[in-house]
Structure 1
Amino acid sequence: MYLKRILLIIVFIGLLIGGLFSAMVYRTLFISNTVFSNEQAYVFIPSDADFDEVKQRLQPLLKNPSTFETAAQRKRYTENIRGGKYAISRGMNNNDIINALRSGNIPVRISFNNQETPALLAGRIGSQLEADSLALYGAFSDTDFLKAQGWTPDQALLPYIPNSYEFYWNTSATAFRDRMLAEYTKFWTDARLDKARSQGLSQEQVIALASIVHKETAQADERPRVAAVYLNRLKKGMFLQADPTVIYAIKKETGNFDTLIKRVLYRDLEIDSPFNTYKYPGIPPGPIAMPDISAIDAVLNPENHKYLYFVADTENFGYHKFAETLGQHNRNKEQYVRWLDAQKIRR
């Protein structure tokens, strides 16, 4: 009888301990542990983060950081931390949070356009991905990478077609560059390659010429007309004489790409740079900026006309006046120069 009582007490104690343990496990793993009111919150975990940094980044989102730590240890998350961007939903319990941090790395949508140098592009991308701008610049400018594509440092911007792309936030600098090279290859469809050949241009020349078109006009519907002017000049053996190339040459020589130049002066045309299309014939050795797709397609699908000249239209800002003869162009230009003088735009 006495032994039976002892056994019942032991069983009772065991059940009590088991119940307490189960309650503790349930509380640790399965009770909501979020404190924010939005539907979702996002946390960015660096690739080299340890668990202390994970806790620090999650702490503002959690009701009870200590139960999260206990759960993470039980599920061995502390030994398998992965960098990335993760979504934590309102009402998640620790078990759900840890599962999300293990396998829920979500992509970010990044965009870029009209950067004039690899350094500026690196800064733009570095503000959107984990990779810092120095690592990105090193990847973009890597001479071995460029040589493998048959490109020079002046052509380092070639593979970066402005658009929106999805990347994992913790994508490395070289992985970003290599993905953009793949996107560039994909962009050059057989149809686009055929059109480039019909113009007598290589892919690199198309991008370089498109960058000039892009800088000349922001109006997508005018770009095929501007592109045709330059193609007409090339066919006649004329110099391109594009003001944006002179501006780029000045910026490149000074190293100051923040310079704002609204008016190109005659003395500027003397700058000795292969990018100065007043001084050197043909298409420049590389793009003067990153042309968007509408500018590239404008070079590949130019308007059919005989215009050789154009100048800004002061009666329809954003657009240009076009001319087939130098005489007509000079008359259009006089009107534009008078407007510049009236606005006191000297530089």
Structure 2
Amino acid sequence: MHKKALLFITLVALVVVMAGAALVVRNQFYGSAVHEESDLYVSSRCDYAALRDTLARHIGHRWAFDRYASRLELGRSFKPGRYLLRPGMNVIEVARMLKLGEQTPVRITFNNVRTPAQLAGKLGRQFDADSASFAQVLTSDSLARTLGFDSVTLFSMFIPNTYEFYWTASPQEFVTRMKREYDRFWAAGRDEKRDRSGLSRLEVMTLASIVYEETRKVDEMPRIAGVYINRLRRGIPLQADPTVKYAMQDFGLRRILYKHLKYPSPYNTYVNKGLPPSPICMPSIDAIDAVLGYERHDYLFFCARPTFDGYHNFARTLREHNANARAYSAELNRRRIK
């Protein structure tokens, strides 16, 4: 073969190889590196080596990612957070997302909480910050006072619901945001109802927590709230069994006995008149609205039905109530519940 022809063929082959290599390299940088949707959590305690190890399970084209990440100096500038990796993303998009901190919010849910410690535990499992950090903030008197509460009453500020946050939000940022949600909650017509009831926000939340612990039957909540409102207005001790459990911090107690009623605590409404100093749990929105829209009646007592259907028998007189209580107690004995 003529030397010129051979050289031409060689050059053409080289161009083809180089073009192919260029396409391969381009595909490494611009082709799809993410094949299925997944969440990437990058903790504030995570170093770059840990980030790379975690990312390796989510993306392909890792050689190209390392090259581009090096160009961005990502090892010194990546932002912690929760990131949504979407199918079709290339390594450039992933690296830039981590550098710019383009987080995807998380949905944070909390309810059925009895104490600040339990709330801290739930939050510690849903945020980057741990439960100890949340516990410290949730009991901080200085922070509480900036929000119009104290370390005891701050718990009444949290309205159970689902909220969107950045996963890296600090405990203080969480509490500050919850104050805005609290004010928004009351501004939605609830303060007007509260004014008519004569109760403060704290009193509504505290009474609602007792109602919530007494029943999960939403349709019965306003009636139970009405009983407690009647007792408050007549100066009769509330004598609410859930406050005894809270005072004793024994939430598994199934049967309240006479010896329990004398337990010394400001939360025990058998030995103290009026409402406890703060909520005994985080009441549901239904329970809060039940207190604001309490049923007007002349009942002063209620007792769980012996049918154990979750509802209660109501009474106007002590004699009626004692008869209801004996029927319920007899059923407890029959079922050998202690």
Shared fold (TM-score greater than 0.5)?
yes
Question: What does 1:226-237 align with in structure 2 at a 5 Å threshold?
Answer: 226-237=224-235
Gap regions ≥5 residues in structure 2: 1-10
Q: Can you list the C-alpha shifts for 1:132-183, whole angstroms capped at 9, x where unaligned?
A: 0011011111110122344333323111111111111111111111111111
Report the Cα distance in structure 1 between the residues aligned to 2:67 and 2:240, rounded to whole angstroms.
Answer: 66
**Amino acid corresponding to residue 315 of structure 1 in structure 2:** T
- Picking from 76, 79, 90, the partner of 1:82 is 79
**How far apart are 1:237 and its partner, in Å?**
0.9
Q: Which residue of 1 aligns with 2:8?
A: none
Question: What does 1:157-172 align with in structure 2 at a 5 Å threshold?
Answer: 157-172=155-170
Report the Cα distance in structure 2 between the residues aligned to 1:189 and 1:329, rounded to whole angstroms.
Answer: 39
CA separation of 1:221 and 1:110: change in aligned 2, threshold 3 A: same
Report the Cα distance in structure 1 between the residues aligned to 2:187 and 2:88, rounded to whole angstroms.
Answer: 47
SS in 2 for 1:42: strand
**How far apart are 1:305 and its partner, in Å?**
1.0
Report the Cα distance in structure 2 between the residues aligned to 1:25 and 1:249, rounded to whole angstroms.
Answer: 68
Report the Cα distance in structure 2 between the residues aligned to 1:304 and 1:225, rounded to whole angstroms.
Answer: 8
Q: Does 1:124 align with 2:122?
A: yes
Report the Cα distance in structure 1 between the residues aligned to 2:101 and 2:136, rounded to whole angstroms.
Answer: 30
**Amino acid corresponding to residue 241 of structure 1 in structure 2:** Q
Q: Which residue of 1 aligns with 2:141?
A: 143
Give the superposed CA RMSD.
Answer: 2.4
SS in 2 for 1:310: strand
**How far apart are 1:211 and its partner, in Å?**
0.3
Q: Which residue of 1 aligns with 2:316?
A: 324
Q: Does the aligned pair in 2 maintain the 1:87–1:100 contact within 8 Å?
A: no
Q: Which residue of 2 aligns with 1:254?
A: none
Q: Which residue of 1 aligns with 2:239?
A: 241
Report the Cα distance in structure 2 between the residues aligned to 1:240 and 1:206, rounded to whole angstroms.
Answer: 14
- Picking from 217, 220, 238, the partner of 2:218 is 220
Q: Does the aligned pair in 2 maintain the 1:108–1:168 contact within 8 Å?
A: yes
- Picking from 157, 177, 180, the partner of 1:179 is 177
User: So what's the TM-score if we normalise by structure 1?
Assistant: 0.88
Q: Which residue of 1 aligns with 2:93?
A: 96
Report the Cα distance in structure 1 between the residues aligned to 2:126 and 2:188, rounded to whole angstroms.
Answer: 32
Q: Which residue of 1 aligns with 2:48?
A: 51
Q: Can you list the C-alpha shifts for 1:46-79, whole angstroms capped at 9, x where unaligned?
A: 1243322220110112334222111212244334
CA separation of 1:64 and 1:29: change in aligned 2, threshold 3 A: closer
Q: Does 1:273 align with 2:265?
A: yes
Gap regions ≥5 residues in structure 1: 1-10, 252-256
Q: Does the aligned pair in 1 maintain the 2:61–2:91 contact within 8 Å?
A: no
Q: Does the aligned pair in 1 maintain the 2:206–2:280 contact within 8 Å?
A: yes
Report the Cα distance in structure 2 between the residues aligned to 1:78 and 1:151, rounded to whole angstroms.
Answer: 42
Structure 1 window deviating more from structure 2 (110-119 vs 57-66): it is 57-66
Q: Can you list the C-alpha shifts for 1:249-269, whole angstroms capped at 9, x where unaligned?
A: 011xxxxx5x51011110101
Q: Does the aligned pair in 2 maintain the 1:139–1:173 contact within 8 Å?
A: yes
**Amino acid corresponding to residue 342 of structure 1 in structure 2:** R
**How far apart are 1:344 and its partner, in Å?**
1.1
**Amino acid corresponding to residue 255 of structure 2 in structure 1:** R
Report the Cα distance in structure 2 between the residues aligned to 1:21 and 1:78, rounded to whole angstroms.
Answer: 28
User: So what's the TM-score if we normalise by structure 2?
Assistant: 0.90
Q: Does the aligned pair in 1 maintain the 2:81–2:101 contact within 8 Å?
A: no
Q: Which residue of 2 aligns with 1:8?
A: none
Q: Does the aligned pair in 2 maintain the 1:88–1:100 contact within 8 Å?
A: no
**Amino acid corresponding to residue 114 of structure 1 in structure 2:** N
Q: Which residue of 2 aligns with 1:33?
A: 33
Q: Does 1:335 align with 2:327?
A: yes
The count of residues paired between Structure 1 and Structure 2 equals 328
Q: Does the aligned pair in 1 maintain the 2:39–2:84 contact within 8 Å?
A: yes
